[in-house]
Structure 1
Amino acid sequence: MTISTVLKHNYAIISEAEWNQNPDFSRYSEYGLILLRDAKDAIIGAVWEGRPGEMIPVGIASLQMLEEDAEWDRYSVWIFTDPYRNILGWIERESLYRFLCHFYKTKKEFYETVLFSLPHRVTVIDGNSLICFVNEQEIQARGMAKNQIIGKRIHEIDKESSLERLLSDREKKTVIRLTDNKRGIYTQTNILKDGTSIGAIQVCWEAEEIEKIVMNLEAYTSLAQDLKAVFDLSYDVIYVSDGEGMTLRVSSASERLWGYKPEELVGKTVYELEKQGVFKPSITRLVLEKKDKVQTIQTTKTGKRLMVVGIPIKDEKGNIIRVINTSRDITQESRLQAELEAAKSIMQGYKQELEQLKQSAWKNDRLIFKSEQMRNLVTLAGKVAEVDSTVLILGESGVGKEVIASFIHQKSQRKENPFIKVNCGAIPENLLESELFGYEKGAFTGASKDGKRGLFEVANEGTLFLDEIGEIPLRLQVKLLRVLQEKELVRLGGTKPVRVNVRIIAATNRDLKEEVQKRAFREDLYYRLNVVPIQIPPLRERREDILPLALHFIDKFNREYNRNKMFSPEALEKLQAYKWPGNVRELQNIIERVVVIAEQQIIEPRHLPETLFHAQNNSNGISVSTIMPLDQAKELVERQLLAMAKERYGTTTRIAEVLGVNQSTVSRKITRLGIR
């Protein structure tokens, strides 16, 4: 029976203030003990089912105190803790007394068994010179029954004995003398307690036994020399502990790997050394907990990484009596492995980025614009590129959100590192998590046996562009938020956090505020992303950019398809008049189509898709679809142009500049036409 078998675990820990508010033990009927703690979380007392109406003091004891003369009657209830001060359980004083009675009785029987097992004659006397113990060898040597010896004074059994002389000594004393027949020796030692001799013990060694011991001693000495040579010359650390985790022997390599000499470690427990950070984790502790061989990586206070194998040595009853560890320094191997993994990650990032560049190389061309809106937007993007703030790019589909994201990356300090793009709406939901965050080997059926890095890790030290961010499901939004807040992630199927240093640029054509109200998008994630919002206006609101973009695309596709096409003025007018609901992407696709299909060198309006004409005929543009007086048509055109310009540019000075007239003319016409 051990103390752990009698400890009770039905306790609760609450604050003293909580108990004082409602001191009713019946609220905790399932518990036998309520521990009360103060504001600093220290246990200050308890309420016990044996005395539920009052707070009583409790004793706190470690397992080591069982070996000491503690004042067990001081408290009605005792709490026992492990070496880390964690509570193991509680016990009433009466139950503790019963355990201690059994505990000390067991120890007494153990020590008597030890003395009985010695191959020598053993006699023990108490402080009154009365014989209180003799073993079988002594009984046989005396030729008497045990009851004829126990309880008698030593001089009644051995008139020449000098054992009782040691009882008067107040210091430890050992006497060695020859037996009367000169064929053996007596070893006599007093038993001290608090400076007083409370007894003495005598061991008789026969000459034949002494000779055997001398021979064994020589053999052990030779073996010890061999083992010392192994310990001193071993490149690895050899570490020997007992079954309680006490360090018994350490090889000299400990100074090289751990920064501690063997004598600085011997005599200390592995729990103490682990707590001090000498090594982590303690392999001996793991072996004692698992009761089996353990092999794992250990880190040291000096920054080393060791591969350690711990092997338990057990007695015939299966109890661990020794733990032997061997530690091999793998710091250099780990560093090389980390560098290899980093190189693989960079290579994977560059490979993916290169593939994306091949598929959409035009998106990294220089920015093409003429409008004031885009000039201001690019200026803002340039400023944002100088810092690592998260950017949220907003705009309709096809306006060039990815182009702006790439521009920010190329202008940033991360431009030499990967720029990884992922369309969150194009990847199935069940694959998106593993693509973004990666997975460990065996995380799911069909997973790679080596695991896989996610795009966050691939983009490490670079930029990750999350297009269509509004498509990410809610359950993944939580993991994305953690990456933004903590700069770390956990792979699918893994438990170990992975640190990442990634700049996030997100984009969406959705109204995320509306999505937050619909509870389709997390509000906290929205504010994390919306640090620097950039709104890209649609192409219809920046018509000055249509012609520069059209000329840029026709030049690009002429070079790509080895053509020499050009637009007629009438075709350019049609492009300029169209509202482009598909924005820049639609403009690019239409120009690519006419460059490939048109047979003539000059692209006329008839080569353009009919959708451009249909949309214009049904729009509210400046074109006139019915017959009217010329003056009326002129006024209608002026009204529409001035209203559109007033809404877009605001000031009459800017409107006059765009329309190519004097500022006074603009002011006069706006007043006359009643435009507000």
Structure 2
Amino acid sequence: MSLIDEVKKGNEQLFEILPFGLALFEQANKMTLLNNAVDINIFKSKDFISYINEMIESQAQNEGIEIHYNSENYFLQGMPIVEKKNSTFAGVLVVVKAFTDGLGKKYQSYKELSMDLQAIFESSYDVIYVSDAEGKTLRVSSACEKLWGKKQSELVGKNVKELEHEGLYKPSVTRLVLEKGEKVSTIQTTKTGKRLMVVGTPIKDEEGNVLRVVNASRDITEVSKLKSEISEMKQLINGYKQELMELRKENDQQNPIIFNSSEMERVFELAQRVAQVDSTVLILGESGVGKEVIAGYIHRTSQKDNKPFIKINCGAIPENLLESELFGYEKGAFTGANREGKMGLFESANGGTLFLDEIAEMSLHLQVKLLRVLQEQEVMRIGSAKPVKVNVRIIAATNKNLQEEIKKGSFREDLYYRLNVVPLHIPPLRKRREDILPLVLHFIEHFNNKYLQNKSFSPKVLDALQQYDWPGNVRELQNIVERLIVTSEGAEVTIKDSSDIIASYRLNHEKVQVLEILPLKECVEIAENQLIKLAQQKYSSTIQIAKALNVNQSTISRKLKKLEAL
């Protein structure tokens, strides 16, 4: 009797009362038993027939596997029947379960959902790690091998405490979640030398008991390296700042502010007092008197010494560029703008000092924006609607008479009063001649060191330099001393070396030039005629000419008739 016959014998009645379908097949694809719970229509399905053939074929090859088949209406499970004595395949016992109330569709939906979740589980950028309430590893995504150097099969089934003890990762976030009973986020180090950001989340039942712990682990090794590099860069920058401060102090010692006059002494006394507060300062004076030097001195002797000192010449930059330089702009604010946007000088100087040289050259449009900064202590970037708070000390400077500019309508009166909190006037060099010789001697030493020379100036040259009015002030004086050091041939600069240079400077700045010796009366007459002709070219009436030359109209009329007669 075959094994199939033994299975059938005495079990027919049992088979009929089973709540599920049952079919028995022999090797030759012959069905020998079919109970009443099986819908005969199932055998009309080509998928089912293919399943049976696959089952018998695989079992005939002694593969010893179970094969599942399901559709919207049925779920089938095939189990091989094997002879115990010789392990030969005898047939297949098929269990047939019919789905009711749409369970088949639900089953298919759950199956597809499971496939989607599996795909997400494996393709996630983070490594997903699932453990039970005892810390036993249930599932882990395949990326685990990159993080911990272990395959899925090496982790599943093992307890997280055991893996932590082995040093695979430290700390175990699952253990921390089970101990605290709440969500945990921490940095984890691995045996492979990586740093992970791990977030562990407990899954609880209705009573609050932890059923599962799900961890998401992200590799932040490179981020940590970048943070470390940034920290090192910050330390390096701080070191450079310290070195710059030391160099600046040395530079201040090597290039001291030189003066000997009581006028400049009063200027520096006021500058020292102003440096102790944050009041806005307006520095007034002719070109070349050293307005920038005084501004730098105020900053260096203030409590903002270790903060930025930023300088900008308002007359050297076009209006549209000056606005973006001062206030900055958001990304895409205008064509050609930096993609990331740009911080303005007000923000760059935050906490420190901003020196606005030639403030009178600023347009009325920008004067309004500057006034807002002074009033509100905030700036608005171009293209932005969000103000940025700043704490900046403003020092402005000009060589113009701002009250005259206000009358002309080129400078705002309200801005003038905002800037003119502490006015500081630097007198021209011709009004403090006591400073000329100390400055000359300082520049001689400076340029000797710079050009590796050892030259001196003769007493006559020094006297000539002291007698000159210096319309270009300290800057002009510095330029002449440098030129004399560079161009003179001997060890001592003589009056012969300097005569041409000083004469050329005098000619360039004198209003009236006399190039040869002639009688005084003739010289005066020539100068007078030239002056009247020049005024006649500029003004259209004798009344205007008389007013410009500060004489009576009758005098001008008489002299014009005399000129016409010549």
Which structure has the larger Rg over C-alpha atoms?
A: 2
Higher relative contact order (CA 8 A, sep 6+): 2
TM-score between both structures, scaled by the size of structure 1 = 0.40
TM-score between both structures, scaled by the size of structure 2 = 0.47
